């Protein structure tokens, strides 16, 4: 499972984690196959990032421990993208999502070297 921008979602991808509204209501359940109309609906609900299941045969070569270590390395870089330190729940969620994405990208770049 990995996170992607909703703009990169394509029909046929399988949702890897429940997609929740800002109020916590489940919009799409884990395991749902995305359709074009469903993707457009998520965009209209302000959803930016979703988790999709990895393709068959694709190895998830990053352990949770590796990602957490990379998050620590990337924390200041991501914090610098915010005007203020995140304090409310929505800003913390955005920060944690951005941090996870940055850490995974950092690790991918490290493995490509």
Residue 23: which CATH number?
Answer: 3.90.105.10
Whether residue 7 is contained in a domain is answered as yes
Residue 110 has pLDDT above 90, yes or no: no
Whether residue 58 is contained in a domain is answered as no
Whether residue 44 is contained in a domain is answered as yes
Whether residue 39 is contained in a domain is answered as yes
Tokens of 42: 């998520």
* Per-residue model confidence (pLDDT) at position 57: 39
* Per-residue model confidence (pLDDT) at position 113: 60
Determine contact, residues 81/97, Cβ cutoff 8 Å. Answer: no
Bin 57: left if φ > 0, else alpha if -120 < ψ < 50, else beta.
left
| 45 and 69 assigned to the same domain | no
Average pLDDT over residues 57-61: 48
Each residue's pLDDT tens digit, 38-55: 999 999 999 999 999 876
Whether residue 57 is contained in a domain is answered as no
Whether residue 59 is contained in a domain is answered as no
* Per-residue model confidence (pLDDT) at position 60: 54
Average pLDDT over residues 58-83: 84
Whether residue 86 is contained in a domain is answered as yes
- Strands 2-5 and 19-20, sheet pairing: unpaired
| 42 and 16 assigned to the same domain | yes
In the chain, the number of structural domains is 2
Each residue's pLDDT tens digit, 76-104: 999 998 888 888 999 999 999 999 999 98
Determine contact, residues 27/43, Cβ cutoff 8 Å. Answer: no
- Strands 49-52 and 2-5, sheet pairing: antiparallel
Determine contact, residues 77/35, Cβ cutoff 8 Å. Answer: no
Determine contact, residues 2/45, Cβ cutoff 8 Å. Answer: no
| 106 and 71 assigned to the same domain | yes
**What integer best gives the mean pLDDT of the chain?**
87
Domain containing 24 equals: 2-52
């Amino acid at each position: 499972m990995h996170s992607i921008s909703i703009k990169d979602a394509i029909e046929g991808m399988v949702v890897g984690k429940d997609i929740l509204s800002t109020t916590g209501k489940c919009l799409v359940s884990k395991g749902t196959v995305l359709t074009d109309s469903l993707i457009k609906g998520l965009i209209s609900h302000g959803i930016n990032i979703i988790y999709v299941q990895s393709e068959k045969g694709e190895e998830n070569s990053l352990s949770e421990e590796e990602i957490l270590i990379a998050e620590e390395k990337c924390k200041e870089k991501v914090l610098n993208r915010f005007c203020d330190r995140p304090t409310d729940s929505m800003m913390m969620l955005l920060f944690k999502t951005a941090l996870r994405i940055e850490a995974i990208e950092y690790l991918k770049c490290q493995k490509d070297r």
